Amino acid sequence: MKRAVLIAVPYFWLLALFMIPFLIVFKISLSDAALAIPPYMPTMKEGLGAMLSQLDFENFIFLTEDDLYWKAYLSSLKIAFISTVFTFLVGYPIAYAMARAPTQWRATLMMLIILPFWTSFLIRVYAWVGILSTEGLLNRFLMWIGIISDPLIILNTSTAVYIGIVYTYVPFMILPIYAALERLDESLIEAAEDLGCSRMKAFWLITVPLSKGGIIAGCFLVFIPALGEFVIPSLLGGSGTLMIGKVLFEEFFSNRDWPVASAVAVILLIILIIPIILFQRNEQRQQEAEE
């Protein structure tokens, strides 16, 4: 009896506030826009049978015809992919150096990596606006030391979005890679060096393969949220940068086209399912390897 209550309360909470909302999104994505409140039809009022018979895939067909959406999905994938690569290039050396640091420093270094994660995401993105703008600190600094004579235009381009994603998501890359590297048995590298490997070669043949699980986990932890990102492209990317999270937000709040916004959400989810499944597989393999 008590056990049933224990299970039922969180279960029904999630059913009501996660699962059902989801089904509603799916249903509305199959509806038509209407000048009414709520602004779509059919609704439940006409009875379930009548409602079901009026649902169709029109919005999805519309999404394939209008190249704005195609371009937004493709450019989200591109931006998420490129920034994942950059995050890896920035994150790996940091994780590597942390794992090599003296043991008594490691807890502090760890805390310093996690600390920005607790501070507001919005503020961390906002901090870059003042740095990257045309009269911003970066341009003034570069002009002062004489590298450039005219300010670079970085804010409101996709470069700014890359910088924003790398900056905010790099802790997600560092932590799993650090965890993998810290477990790595250093005598393996010593053995390789004793057997005639150069330092570089030992790194490529031993360190990299053994930290593969951490690298894969880190890449997915950056790629998955970057794909649906809204704050970074809106604040740093300007109107020229197309990302699907931003399109969805605008479709809903500016155009008030709920059925199309819902269809955009459904397709975004379908795209996300593949990396999420791959990520879970990787996690499972890691756990099995540990046992």
Choose one: 55-63, 79-87, 127-135, 209-217; the region binding another protein (CB under 8 A).
127-135
> For tokens 């053995």, what's the residue?
191
Per CB under 8 A, the list member of 34, 41, 94, 188 interacting with another protein is 94
Told to check if 181 binds another protein by CB under 8 A, we report no
Told to check if 225 binds another protein by CB under 8 A, we report yes
Per CB under 8 A, the list member of 51, 109, 184, 278 interacting with another protein is 109
Told to check if 215 binds another protein by CB under 8 A, we report no
Choose one: 51-59, 65-73, 133-141, 209-217; the region binding another protein (CB under 8 A).
133-141
State the Cα–Cα distance between residues 105 and 103, nearest whole angstrom. Answer: 5
Told to check if 133 binds another protein by CB under 8 A, we report yes
Per CB under 8 A, the list member of 30, 72, 113, 215 interacting with another protein is 113
Told to check if 90 binds another protein by CB under 8 A, we report yes
Alpha carbon 19 to its chain centroid, in Å, reads 22
Told to check if 232 binds another protein by CB under 8 A, we report no
State the Cα–Cα distance between residues 284 and 262, nearest whole angstrom. Answer: 32
Please list every residue from 260 through 289 that binds another protein, using CB under 8 A: 261-262, 265, 268-269, 272, 276, 279
Tally Cβ neighbours within 10 Å of residue 271.
15
The C-alpha angle 25, 30, 33, rounded to 5 degrees, equals 90
Single-letter residue type at 99: A
Told to check if 9 binds another protein by CB under 8 A, we report yes
- Give me the DSSP letters along 94-147: HHHHHHHS-HHHHHHHHHHHHHHHHS-HHHHHHHHHHHHSTTSHHHHHHHHTTS
Query: Helix, strand or coil for residue 177?
Result: helix
Told to check if 35 binds another protein by CB under 8 A, we report no
The enclosing H or E element of 249 equals helix 244-253
Told to check if 170 binds another protein by CB under 8 A, we report yes
Told to check if 31 binds another protein by CB under 8 A, we report no
Per the document, the length of the chain is 291
Told to check if 17 binds another protein by CB under 8 A, we report yes
Per CB under 8 A, the list member of 62, 152, 230, 238 interacting with another protein is 230
Retrieve residue 109's tokens. Answer: 């270094």
| CA-closest candidate to residue 168, choices 237, 120, 136, 131 | 120
Choose one: 46-54, 118-126, 189-197, 204-212; the region binding another protein (CB under 8 A).
118-126
